[in-house]
Each structure stands twice: as structure tokens, then as C-alpha cells.
Structure 1
Amino acid sequence: MVSISSSMLFYLSPKVSVIKYNSKGEEEGEIELPDVFRIPIRRDLILRAFLSEFTASIQPKARDPMAGKRTTAKSLGIGHGVARVPRIKGGMRAAFVPMVRKGRAAFPPRLDEKIHEEINKKERTLAIMSSLAATAIPDLVKERGHEFDSKTVPIIINSDILNEIKKAKEAREILGKIGIYKDIERAAERIRVRSGKGKMRGRTYKNVNSILFIVENHNSPFARSVTNMPGVDVIEPNLVSVTHLSPGGVPGRLTVITTEALNALSKRFSLGE
């Protein structure tokens, strides 16, 4: 349970209701979203939380402290008519300094540099809640470039779909009936080959983020049937974070949530006085 002051509750938007779909992709009435989907959108906190999660995954790297310095080179000093750069004994070849061949690096990366941008726990939690609230605003979802025909967002689907849909073909049909499969097609069309040396390092393709599925069981048949679709991510409600909800620190990702996962999100981010 998240403890939020009563002053925060004062700024909550009105109750939001969205269309609920059954396992056949048909409308099954409306469902009221929990209070977490009504809090203000804090773009500043969302960006900070994203940068914190992103920088936490970066592998620290540094140069050997003695790289380019293992040499007997010494400066000849003044009065010889040559520059006072270190030169190898018995010759005139310069060494050690940054501007010569095989010299040291001028300002190499160091391990003592702070890479991870830290953030307070309550700020991170509020950023996740704000990202969830952004998924319920159609204008923000369209602003991210998502394409959909559904009347409301996020898409709420009955949890029965997790065991009833077992093939990717069936999943595509259901998503097509709801009006969101075109976003996966958009992501597939925009997959492109990376320019540069990243192609040689296991990063050949650049992908686009599409639908986020929040389900209570990521090993269910339905979750496995959609997990390999272009740009799709599948996550359980207890693990959802800003990285999933707001890729790049930009809120408003097109999201599909099962009814059981919605209840789990409501319990995880229930607002307390």
C-alpha cells in the first residue's frame, strides 16, 4: 500500500471507466479504473525514474591506469633544440604523452565515475503510478505514436483469455477485433538495421515499442503467444516499472491489462490517507 497525503487526493481527476473485453474480443460492459489511474502526470519524475533504471543497468568501464605509460621515455629538457616531450632513451621517438602514437589517453573513462543516477523510493513509486495514469489518457498514447481504434485505454481483458488463447494466430485475431493489432504492424514495419559497429556486437536491429501486456502469469499460453510479436512486452503487475510503462521516459504506452492484473495493481498502488 502506498501512503499518499490527503492533499494529493484532492488533485485526483474524476472517476474513469473503460470498456472491458471478453476472451473473444467482444465488449463486455464497462469497468471503473482504480484510483492510481487518476493521479496527476509528473513528466519530470517519470524521466528521472527512467534514467535511474536505465543507468543502473549500464556496465561500468574504464581504461588500464597504466595504458600508454609503460615506457622509459624521459624529456631531454631545454637547450637541445627539440620539443620537451618525453622521448625513448637511445632515440628521438616520443612516447607517453597523449598526442603521440601509442601514448596515453588524455581523459580516459575511470571506474570511480558515478554512472547510476539515484532516486528516492517514494519518488520512484510515484513515477510508476504517474506512468500508469498516463496509459489512461488517449491523447498521450497517440502522442507516443501508437495506433489503435479502441474507444478507451488502457485495454482491459477478462483473465480467462490467458488459458483460452494458445496460438499466436488466435491472439492476432482477438487483438484485431479490439482494434490494437495495427500498432504491432506499425512496429514490424519500422524494424530497421542499425548503422555502425553495433551490427557486429549483437545489436543488429533497432526495434520500436508497441503494446505492453500486464498479466498475472507471464508463462500462460496467451502470454507466450504474444511475447514474440514485434515491440511487445509482457510483464506481471508486481514487476511493472517506468521502463515498461514509459520507454525513453515518455509516458503514454499502449497497455493491455487483464482483470486479475488490474486488481493486483490496485492493491500494490492503493492510495492511503
Structure 2
Amino acid sequence: MKRTNFGYTTRRRKRHRFTPRFFLILAGLFAIIALLFFIASGGFKAKPADPVVNPNPGDLEGEDTPQPDVWVMIDPGHGGDLYPGCYYGGYRESDLDLQVALKVRTILENNGYGVLMTRDDDSEVGLYERTELCNESEAQVFLSIHANAFESDLSVNGISTWYNGETNEENKIFAGLVQSHASLATGARNRGLSEDDELIVIRETNVPCCLIEIGFMSNETELANLVNEDYQQKLAQGLADAIMEYLESKAPAGDGEEGGESGSGEESGSGSN
């Protein structure tokens, strides 16, 4: 039946009833939309795993990294601004000592030796502190590296090695190897061995030890060699070979004086202790 209302013809509207199935479909659509939005926003990104904390790093390190059986203590002479040692041509002795010492360390470590150093930067380390570091460590030998100078005669050149003959009879054997290998490796003049019972770093050290003067910075030609990278590498190889030979054999190998003259205290101007 039609009704007229203000000139418009209207019909009775039929009511639509929503069934439970309709609501289920609608809920499903909302769930799908929500899921797509969640994925788009990165909701399924993997959560980073918590870092694994080793409760005892020393245990794992000991298992994975075999520790060297033999240790060496290398002592680069001087260090710091208070006492850098000799100074010639714009070069400090302490820097040259360290450069050579670091090369020796690398060679020894590459051959399976453990290497300790009294300093590995431009730090100032006391003389007695150096010997204590060695005596309290597992080091089996101690090598102190210095450079020399003699202002009274700038022509003086060559390598010499000092040892203490009273504290340990092995000192001379070790010093002989160091002197011989260093001279042969570099071709520098072999000034031989010198005995001194007062140099602190070789007097107070308990293991076989010696102090090498790798050359005279006061000599222009020798200084040019000492600052040369290739020459330093040859010198370091000679020192490392001497250390390894001594540790492997423990046998006398000469006093290192053949082919050169014994160094004298009057030509040692580095003030090394």
C-alpha cells in the first residue's frame, strides 16, 4: 500500500536482520586486516638473541688459546720525556729501542714464544721496576735494548753487549749469542762483550740476561742505519735468533768476541743502567 507524504510516494522498508554467520565473517575480515597491518609494521621481525655472557672468560680462553711454554722479557731502554736517552739528528734513543724491541717481539711470537715487555709505548719505567717485572714473571731470559753514543769521537761505531759475570754464569753465554747474531745479521762492527757488575737491569734480574748497545747514534752513518726500517728488521731477526738458539740449546756457543774487539767503558756514553 502506497502512502503519499508531501508529494513523495513512500513504501514500507523491509528490516534486515543480521545473522550470527554475518558477524563471524565480519570478525574474520577484521582479523585479516589486523594481521596484514601487523606484518607491515614489522611485527614478525626476529628479536635479537641475548648476548651469551661467559661467566669465566679465562676458562674458554685457556681452552681455545694454547699458552706458550717459554716466555721472554724484552726491555726497550729509557722511555718518557724525563730520560729519553741519547738524542741525535732529531731521533731519540728511547724510540729506536722500542721500534727494534717491537720487531723482536713479533718474530718471537710468530715462532710460538710468549713475549713480555717492560714497556710497549713511550712510558717511563724505573730501572728496578723493570727487573721486578721480569723476576715476577715466567720469563726465562731478559734482553735490554739500548743505543750508544760517544761524542769525543764521532767515528766510533759498532755493536756491543754487556753482561753481569757475578750473578749468573749463563749471562755470558747468552750475551755471546746476542752479540754474535746481531753483528752478523746487520754487518755492523762487532765490538764484542763487556762485563759490568753495576748495571742495574742486568744486576738485579734473576734469569739469564744481557744489555745490547745496538749502535752509536753519534755516528752519522750508523744513525742512518738505526732509523732504517730494513736495517731494524735485520737487527731484530738477529736478536730473535740469538734468543731462540739460547732457549733451545742452553749450551755454550762462544763468547761472541771473535771478529771484533772488546767494548770499553770509556766509549759508552748512553748512560744505560
Same fold (TM over 0.5): no
**Structure whose alpha-carbon radius of gyration is higher:** 2
TM-score, normalised by the number of residues in structure 2 = 0.22
Bigger helix fraction: 2
Higher RCO, 1 vs 2 (CA within 8 Å, ≥6 residues apart): 1
